[in-house]
Structure 1
Amino acid sequence: MISLLNYFLAIQKAFNNELPLDLDQQAAVEHTFTEPLWIIAGPGTGKTHTLVWLVLKRILVDSVPADRIVLTTFTRKAATELRSRLLRAKQQLVSSGLREAEEIDVTQVFLGTLHSLCARILRDQRYEPTLRIRVLADERVQEYFLRRTRNPILDINDVTFWARFRLARYQGGQTYLPSRAKRAEGGCILFNRITENGADLNAMRTSGDPHFALLADAYEQYQQNLQQDLRTDQATLQRHFLTFLQSPEGQTWLGNGMSVVVDEYQDTNPVQEEIYFALTGGLPDFTVVGDDDQSLYRFRGATVESLIDFDRACLDYIGIAPRAVYLRENRRSHNGIVEWVNRFIQHHPSMIELNPLIRVRAPGKPALVARSPINGAYQPVQIITRSRDSQVGAEVSTVIQDLLNAGYITDYSQVALLTFSTSESNWAIGAYIDALDNAGIPYINPRSKAAQNDTALLEILGALSSILDPIRRFSNTWTLPDGTTFTLPGRLVSYIQEATNAFQQRIATGSFPDLEVYINDSITTVSGTPFDPSNPYLLQAGGQRTTISSLFFKLIAHSPYSDAILDPAHGERLKVINQLLAEYESLYDEGAIKVEQALSGQTQTETWSLYNLYAVFAESYHDGLNDSEDEDVSIVPGCVNVMTIHQSKGLQFEVVFIIKPENTPFLGTAHVLEDQLAPYINRPTQPLLRRSIQLRVEEDIVRLFFVGYSRAKRLLILAGTNLARWDTILGRDVHGQPINNQASLIGLNVNFL
C-alpha cells in the first residue's frame, strides 16, 4: 500500500513531471468510497483514461485485491482497450520507479462485458443449474432456436397483436402480419424484454388482456425449451447469474462484496442494474461512468434512467446517496464544435422537462469546456443542402477530395459519413455511395446489408440448392409428413430461384468443368444413397454424416469460388456465410443432412430439413446480410468510413459528415414496450412516471445526433436535402428560438457550401 500523494507523484514522474489528470479527473480518482461514485463524462473528456488510473489507485492505494474488482464495459472492443490501457499504465508506473506496481497483477481484475463475465464466473464456480448449458451466441441464433422449437408465438395470426408492439408489417397505409422470420425476430425482442425486466408472468395471464396472456404462454414455452435443450440466451444467462449471486454458493464466492466499476452505464438494462448492486454486497464500493446524452441503446433494452436516476437507485439498494463528479473538459474537438454540441443539447426543447419528478438529463450537469489544441479562425460547422440527393452526394465527394488535395486530411480514413441508415438503397444513402464511386473515392460500409447480392454468395446458395434439391421442390406452400403446412414468402422463393438460375448460368458457360462434375456427382450421391430408416442421414464413405458445411467448403474449393476467396471483399463475405452457417448448424442437427425415401423410391433430402434450409438459413441469408465487421479494427486505412451513428460511438474523426439528417429514428417496439410492460414490473427502481412516448422518441433523436456531432475533431458538415425538415436535429439557439432556415444558421457562424 502507498499513499495517494506518492501515487500521484509516480504518475506525474511517468508523464514528464506533469500530472495527466484535470481537476475533475483527480476528484474521481481521489474518491474514498464512503459513498458510491457517479461519474458523468461528456464526449472527449477522457473517461477511459480516468477509469484506468482509478482502478490502479484502488489496488495500490486502497489495497483492494485485483481479483476483487469487477470492471465491465459495453463491447468486447472497449474491454480490450481497457485491458491494454491498464497494462500500459501499470508499466508506466513501473518505469517511473514505483516498486509496488511491479507486484500487482492487473490481469486478475474481472474485466469484460457483463455477458462474458457472467458466463466465466458461472463456469469457474461450476454452478450446477448452468453447468452444461450452451449459450445462444446472438439474436440470430436465438431466432433460429424459436423456429426450430416451433414456439407458439410464430403461430399468432392476430395482426392486432403484432401491431400493438410495432412488429407488424406496414405498407401503403395498410397493416399486415409479419413473415415467420420477422415473427421470430419480434418474439426474441419481446422475450428478452420480459427477461431483462423480470416481468410477472402470472400478472400478465390474469390481467384480462388476451395479448399478454398469449405472450406469457409463449414465453413460458420458450423458457421450457431452453431448459430441455440445455441452452440459454444472453438475457436469461444474466438472470441465472443474478440467481447465483443470491444463492448460498454465490454468497460464499461474493464474500463481503466486490469493488464494482461499470463503464457506459447509460446502456445498462434493468437486470444488469440488479446484478451490479448485488455484486457490491450492499456496500458503497460502486463506480458508474457514463453520459446520459450518449444513450443510444433503448432498442436493446437499455434504460437511460439507470444513469440519470443512479442516486435514487443507490438509496433504494444500499441506503447511501452517491457523490457526483462531472468530467467536462473536452480535449477532442474545435471550440466551435464544442459550442455547437453544448447549444444543441442544453437548449433543445425535447431535453427540457418541467416536471421535477421526471429527469431527462443527469441533474446538475454542466456544459462541456473546450480544451482541444485544435483551433483556428475558420467555421468548423458547415452545411451542404441541395434539392436532390445526387447533387448533395456529388458535393460531398468534391469536398472530401478537396480536403485531401489541400492537405487538411492526409488519408481518406480521417473522414466519416455518419447516418441513421447505411442501406445503399435509393431511400437511404444510395446516391451518396454512387457519388463516391463516381469520384473514385474508396469507402467501407460494412453495415450496408448488401452482402447477399454478392454474385459469388448468390451462386453458392444456388449450388447448395442444386445438390440438395435437384428437382426444385421450393415453392410457397409446404406440407410436411405430419400434415403440417407452412408457407415460404414469395420474395424468398424468388430469391432461391434467382440463386439457382445464377448458378446454372455459371455452369452453362462451360468454363468450370470440375465444378460441374462435382455438382453432378453430389446429386447422384444423394439420390443413389440407400435409405436406412434407422440412420436417416446422408453418409460419407467412412460412415460419417455429411453436413451442409462440408458441402460449402467443397464448393469454395472449386473455381471460381476458390478465386473469390483471394479477393478481400469476396473473402470477407464468404466468412459471413460461414459464420451464418455455423449458427444455423448449431441448432439444426449440427448441420447433418437428413434424408427420406421419395415416392419414386429414390433417396432425397428430408422435406422438413429442406424446408428449414430454405425458410431459416436462406431467409436470413436473403433478408440483409451485413459484411464482416471486425470489432477490433473499426477504421480501414485509405477508405472513407460510412457508418451508422450508433457504430461511430467511441470513435473520432478529423472530419464528420452527417448524411441525410432528415432521416431520423421513429417510434418503435422499444418505446412501446416500456409502457406496455410497465404494469407487470415490480423492481424498486422502475420509474413511477415517464414522459410521453413521443417525447421519448424525440429524446432518442437528440441523443443520436449529439453523438454524431461530437465525433468531429476539426470539421462537422451536415449534408442533405429539405432543410425545412431539419428542425429537430438543429435544435434551438441560446434564446430558445428555432433554427430552421439559412439566416438563423449563418447567425450561429455556420457556413453554407
Structure 2
Amino acid sequence: MRANPQQLKAIEALDGPLLIIAGPGAGKTFTLVERTINLLSTRDVDPSRILVSTFTEKAARELLTRISNRLLERGMSVNPADMAIGTLHSIFLKLLEEFRPFTRIRRNYTVLDQFDQQYFFYQNSPEFRSIEGLENLLHPGQQVSAWWFAECLMVRLNKLSEEGIDGEALIASAVPEFQILGAAYKKYQELLEANNALDFSTIQVEALKLFAHEKVRDELQNRFDYLMVDEYQDTNTIQERIVLKLGSGTKNVCVCGDDDQSLYRFRGASIRNILEFSDRFSEGTCQTVYLTDNYRSHPAIVDFYNEWMQLTDWGSTPGLDGAAPKSYRFQKTIKSVSHDNDDRPAVFKVSGTDGQADWATQVAAFLRTRRNDGIIKDWNQVALLFRSVTNEKVIEFSRSLEREGIPIYAPRSNMFFERQEIRSMVGALLFMFPQYGSIRQVREGQQLGVWEYYDSCLKEFIAHIKSGTDAQIGPWLVSMAKTHLGLSENTNYAFSGLFYQLLQFPTFSKFLGEDVAHSGVRDSRPARNLSKFSRLLNKYEYLYRVIVFQPERLEKDLLVFFNTFLRFLLDGGIGEYEDESEYAPSGCVSLMTFHQSKGLEFPIVLVGSLDASPRKQHNDLDVLLQQTFEDREPFEPWERTKTFDFWRLFYTAFSRAQNMLVLTAQENTPKGKGQRNVPSAYFRPVYQLLKPWTDLVFDPVKIALAEVKDVNLKHAYSFTSDVLVFEGCAQQYRFFKDLEFAPVRTNAILFGTLVHQTIEDIHKTVLRGEEARVTPEQISSWFRVNYNNISQQERTYLAEPVLRIAEQHVQRYAVRERSNWHRLKEAEIELSLLKPDYILQGTVDLVQDDDGSYEIVDFKSEKKPDLFDDKDKIDRYRRQLQIYAHLLEEKRQITVRHMTLYYTGEESGNPRITFDRSMSDVKGTIAVVDKVIKKIVAKDYGLYDRPEKLCKNCDFRPYCDMNFCRGEA
C-alpha cells in the first residue's frame, strides 16, 4: 500500500507536536507504522527512545507485528521489541517497576482487575461504611447491598483518580460532600498500600507521582525522543498530564485519533484532550493532519454516517459574557475511496413488521437468502451490533436466530454459567457436599434466585449420573460426599483440587481431547470455559486463603463460596473466551457491543438498539467536582454531553460496515402508557429514508463481499516458560499455556522466587557501589521482606525449616562470591530476538566481567544435577544461555566468553556448570528453538512418553492417568 498525500504528510512530520485526526477506515495504523519506520530509518534513533501507545494490548501487539514485518522487509537490523510499545497502562506499569523505590509499592505487588477491585471494596465495606455520610452520598435515601455499594464506590473513586483529583485536596475542602469522598479515597489508598496492590486507575496516579521526585523527573523527561499515542480521544485527564510530561523535553509528541469515535467518558475519557491538543503547545508549533479518505466502506455507507453526524448541533452559542462559540467536533467530511463502489444496495433496513413480533424471522430470512445466493460465503462476514449484548431482548433475539439456523458467537453475552460444562461442574461440586442442604436453608429467603440456579444444576447432574453415560464418575462422587459429610481431619485439597480430579472423568474429559487444540474458538469453548472456571476457583482460594478443607470451617467456606463469591460472579456476568487473533470465528455471526466492535470491520453490519435515546451520565456531584478542581475552563456543556456521546456511539457502529450497513429493529407503534416508538425519534430522519430489504434486488454478480481479515499477531515466546516447558511436557504446555488452566499453587515456585529475588537485592546493592551493606543481617532482612511480600501476593506460605534452607542458599552464595563483587556488570537484563514469525524473549540474571570479555550467569535454586543422568535438562539450559549470549552481544556490542549455571542449593561442591561460548552453536541452537516454536504454533501436542518427574506433581495427572496409555499419544 502506498501512502496517500494526507498519510505521507503525517509520516514525514517527525519534529515537534503533531495531531492526526483519522476518520474510520483511513489507514491510521498503516500511517503510524510507516511513521515509525521513517523514524528508525532516517533519524538513526535508538528504538528504546521511542514510545508508541494504543488503546488495547491486542492493538499494541498488532502494531508491533506490523512494524517488525516492515523492518524485516527492508532488511533493517533494528529490534522493535526494544521500543516502549503497549497500552498507556502497561507502559506506566513498567515505569513503576523500574522506579519502584520512589513509589509506595513493594516488590510482588498485585494489580487488581475490575472484579478483583470490586471484591476488594466489598471485603472492606465495613471500613468504608463507617465513614459518616458516604452511603447517603452514593445512594441518597436508599439502603443497598454491600456488593452494590462496592460497585458504586469503585466507580466514583476510579473517576477521581482518572481526573487527577487529589484526595488530600478533597479533605481540605469546605464542601462536606468532598470531605466525605476524600476520606473514602484516603482509606482506599491506605488499604491498597497495606495490601501492596494497584488498580488500573491507581497505576496512573502512581506514575504521575514519579515526577515529584527531581531525579526521576529529569530521567523520565529525557527518556523518549519521540512519543506516539493512538486513540487519543479516549485518554483521561491524568494520562494527558503524564504524556505531556514525558514529551516535555523534545516536544516530539504525536497523537492520533478520531473525536467522532470517543466512547469512554464513563471510564473518565476526556474529549477535550484531542480537541485542545494543539493548545498545549506554543501557538503555531503543532501541525494538524486530517486523514479523511476511507478505504473501508461503500460510498453509500460513508454518506450515511456523514449525514448522521450532521443531524445534531456540535457547536455552542455565545455565552452571556460574550465568549465566542465553540465547536465540540473537528469539522470534517469522510470520503470513500473504496474499490467497492457499484450502484447496488448498501444501506437499508431489515426489521420486524410494525406492531408484530417477527424481528428475528425477518433477519434470519435476509441472512439465509444472502447465504443461499452465494453473497455470504462465511457467516463470519456478518456482525450484529447492539448497545448491550446482555439485554434480555437482545439475548432472546440471538437465541431466536440460532433456532432459525444462524450460528451466533457472543462471548460477552453473560452465558458462561449457562453452558453445559459449567452447569455440570457446579452440579458436581454441589453433589460432593451434602452440607449444601443446610447452607441453602440459611439464605433461601434472601437469595432464592441463585439457589434456584444451584438446585437446577444439581438436579441435572444427578440425572446425568443416573443415566449411566459416565459410569465412573458416580461412585467416586458418592465416596467423596461421604468423606466430606463426616470430615474429621484436614484434607490435602480445596475446590481447585477437586476440580482437577473431576477432569479425569468422561463427563469433562470429553471436552479436553487433543482435537480441541485444532478446533475453532466456538468448538473449543467448553475447554476454555473450564479453564476460566479453574482460574475463578484459584481466585476464590486466594481471596479467602483457602488451602485445604478443615472440619471446623467447612460449612463457612461452602457458604462463602456459593452464596458470596460465585453469586457475585453470576450476578455480574462472566465473559467467555475470545481469541484476540480470531475476532470473527469462521462459521458464526458475531454478536457484540458497539464498544467491543471499535477498531474492527465486517462486510455486513446489522446495527440494532434503535429504541435507544441519549442518557444522562452525570449528577450534581460530577458538576461540582469539575467546577472546583478542573484547572481550566469548563469544556462541553454538561447538558449536551449525553447527546454528543449518543451520536458518537452510533457513528462508531455505522462505520464498522464495509459492504452493507443494515439498520434493524422490531418496529412498533404506541399501544399504551409507557410504550415507545421504535425506532426512536433520533433515528427517524435517516431510518425512514431506508428501503426494506424485501424491496431491493441483490445481484450476486455485482456484490462481492470482503473477507474477514486475519489478525496477524506476532507472538512473543519465552525460552524458560515456553520452549523449556514444551520440551518438558507438551501436554502440560497445552493445558497451562495454551488453554490457560490455573495450576494449584505450589511452594516449590515460591522457594525459587524467594531465593532469586534476594540474590537480585545483593546484585543491585553491589552495582550501586554499596557492597559494604551486604552483610548477613541485611541479607536476612531482605529475605524476610521478600518473603512477606511474596506470601502476601500469593497467599502461599513456607514452613520455617524450609525458609531457613532458602535463606541458607542466599547466605552461602554471598559468602562464596564476595571476592567476585568487582566482576559484576549488570543484572536482570531483558533480551529479545526478532524472527519472521515470532519474538523470543528472555532475561539474563547476571553479567560478570571475564578478563576483558563477559560471562553470563543463570541461577537455579536447587542442588547441582548429575551431569550424566540430567544431561538432556542441562543441555536445554545450555541452549538457553547460548541464545542469551548471542542477544546480549548484539544488544551491548560486547563479547561473551563463558556461560554459567549457578546452583544455589549445592552445599559443599562447586555450584557452577560453565560452558564455553561457541559461535558455531548459535545457528544450530536457534534452529532447535525454531522447531519447538513451530510445534507450539501448529499445536502439535503429541505425548508419546510420560515424563515421570513432571507427572509426579502435575494437576493433570489424574486426567492423563485415565486418558493416556504409556507409549501412546
TM-score (normalised: structure 2): 0.64
Corresponding position: 1:653 with 2:598: no
- Which residue in the other structure is 1:678 paired with? 626
Find the aligned partners of 2:291 and 2:79 in 1 and give their Cα distance: 28
- Residue in structure 2 matched with residue 549 of structure 1 by the alignment: 496
- 1:560 aligns with 507
Q: Shift in Å at residue 66 of structure 1? A: 0.9
Per the alignment, residue 348 of structure 1 pairs with 311
Q: Match for residue 8 of structure 1?
A: none
Q: Give the CA deviation at 1:255.
A: 5.3
CA contact (8 A) 2:129 2:135 kept: no
Equivalent-residue separation in structure 2 for 1:204 and 1:608 (angstroms): 40
Is the Cα–Cα contact under 8 Å of residues 230 and 257 in structure 2 kept in the other structure? Answer: yes
Q: Do residues 277 (structure 1) and 244 (structure 2) align?
A: yes
Letter in 2 for 1:442: P
Range that drifts further, 412-421 or 141-150:
141-150
Q: CA deviation at 1:163?
A: 4.1
Contact 1:179 1:489 in 2 (8 A): no
Task: Provide the residue aligned with 1:29 in structure 2.
Answer: 11
1:580 and 1:663 map into 2 onto residues whose CA distance is 35
Alpha-carbon distance in structure 2 between the residues aligned to 1:507 and 1:216: 56
Is the 2:349–2:691 contact (alpha carbons within 8 Å) kept by the matching residues of 1? no
Deviation at 1:159, TM superposition (A): 7.0
Instruction: Measure the CA separation in 1 of the matches of 2:465 and 2:405.
Output: 33
Q: Mapping of 1:491-640 within 5 angstroms? A: 491-509=449-467, 512-526=470-484, 528-530=486-488, 538-540=490-492, 546-565=493-512, 568-589=524-545, 591-593=546-548, 595=550, 597=552, 604-605=553-554, 607=556, 610-640=559-589
- From 269, 293, 298, give the equivalent of 2:260: 293
Taking the aligned partners of 2:106 and 2:510, their CA distance within structure 1 comes to: 44
More moved, 547-556 vs 469-478: 469-478
Q: Measure the CA separation in 1 of the matches of 2:280 and 2:559.
A: 51
Determine whether 1:719 maps to 2:664. Answer: yes
Residue equivalent to 1:105: 79
In the superposition, relative to structure 1, how do residues 306 and 509 fare at CA in structure 2: closer, same or farther (>3 Å)? same
Displacement of 1:741 in angstroms is 6.8
Give the drift of 1:240. Answer: 1.6
Deviation at 1:565, TM superposition (A): 4.2
Name the residue aligned to 1:459: 424
Query: How far is 1:203 from its partner?
Result: 4.5
State the 1:92 CA deviation: 2.6
- Shift, 1:272, TM fit: 1.1
**Match of 1:595, as an amino acid?**
Q
CA contact (8 A) 1:335 1:370 kept: yes
1:185 Cα deviation (Å)?
2.2
Tell me the amino acid that sits aligned with residue 57 of structure 2. R
Distance 1:584 1:309, change over 3 A: farther
Deviation per CA, 1:331-354: give whole Å up to 9, x if none. Answer: 111111111111111x12253433
By how many angstroms is 1:671 displaced? 6.9
| Secondary structure of 1:688's aligned partner | coil
**CA-to-partner distance for each residue in 1:172-195, whole Å, 9 max, x for gaps?**
xxx964433232222221221121
CA contact (8 A) 1:76 1:631 kept: no
Change in 2 beyond 3 A, CA 1:564/1:223? same
Aligned to 2:58: 77
> Structure 1 counterpart of 2:82, which letter?
Q
**1:54 aligned to 35, 39, 51, which one?**
35
Distance 1:390 1:224, change over 3 A: same
Q: Would the aligned equivalents of 1:293 and 1:361 in 2 still touch at CA under 8 Å?
A: no
CA pair 40-453 structure 1, distance change in 2 beyond 3 A = same
Question: Retained in 1: the 8 A contact 2:328–2:636?
Answer: no
Deviations 1:579-599 (A, max 9, x none): 33333334321x4245353xx
Deviations, residues 672-724 of structure 1 (Å, cap 9, x unaligned)? 76425324534x4x55243134x211211111110111111111110113375
Greater relative contact order (Cα 8 A, min sep 6): structure 1 or 2? 1
- Contact 1:69-1:110 at 8 Å conserved across structures: yes
Cα displacement (A) at 1:151: 5.2
Structure 2 counterpart of 1:114: 88
Deviations 1:7-52 (A, max 9, x none): xxxxxxxx6xxxx11111111112142x310110000000100001
Question: 1:39·1:288 contact (CA, 8 Å) conserved in 2?
Answer: yes
Query: Is 1:692 matched up with 2:630?
Result: no
Question: How far off its partner does 1:475 sit?
Answer: 4.7
- One-letter identity of the residue aligned with 2:371: L
Question: Contact 1:245–1:279 (CA<8 Å) still a contact in 2?
Answer: no
Cα deviation code 1:602-629 (max 9, x no counterpart): xx51526732552123321344222222
Distance 1:508 1:154 in 2: 49
- Secondary structure at the counterpart of residue 720 of structure 1: coil
Q: How many residues are treated as equivalent by the alignment? A: 671
Q: Distance in 1 between matches of 2:432 and 2:175?
A: 49
Contact 2:348 2:690 in 1 (8 A): no
Q: Aligned residues: percent identity?
A: 27
- Taking the aligned partners of 2:486 and 2:255, their CA distance within structure 1 comes to 64
Q: Which amino acid aligns with 1:274?
A: R
SS of residue matched to 2:576: coil
Query: CA-atom RMSD, angstroms?
Result: 3.2
User: 1 CA distance for matches of 2:326 and 2:547?
Assistant: 54
Counterpart AA for 2:666: T
Please give the secondary structure, in 1, of the residue aligned with 2:605: strand
Match of 2:877 in 1: none
Q: Return closer, same or farther for 1:209/1:224 CA change in 2, 3 Å cut-off.
A: same
CA distance in 2, matches of 1:294, 1:401: 32
Who is 2:685 aligned against?
Answer: 739
Runs of 5+ unmatched residues, structure 1 = 1-14, 95-101, 165-174, 479-485, 532-537, 541-545, 598-603, 731-737
2: CA distance, partners of 1:118 / 1:133: 16
1:309 and 1:578 mapped to 2: Cα distance? 47
Q: TM-score, normalised by structure 1?
A: 0.82
User: Could you tell me whether the CA contact under 8 Å between 1:162 and 1:177 is conserved in 2?
Assistant: no
SS in 2 for 1:650: coil
Output one character per residue of 1:454-479: Cα deviation in whole Å (capped at 9) or x when no partner: 2331232233344456253435867x
Q: For the structure 1 residues 516 and 372, does the alpha-carbon distance in structure 2 shift closer, same or farther, using more than 3 Å as the test?
A: same
| Partner-residue secondary structure (3-state), 2:45 | coil
CA contact (8 A) 2:316 2:327 kept: yes
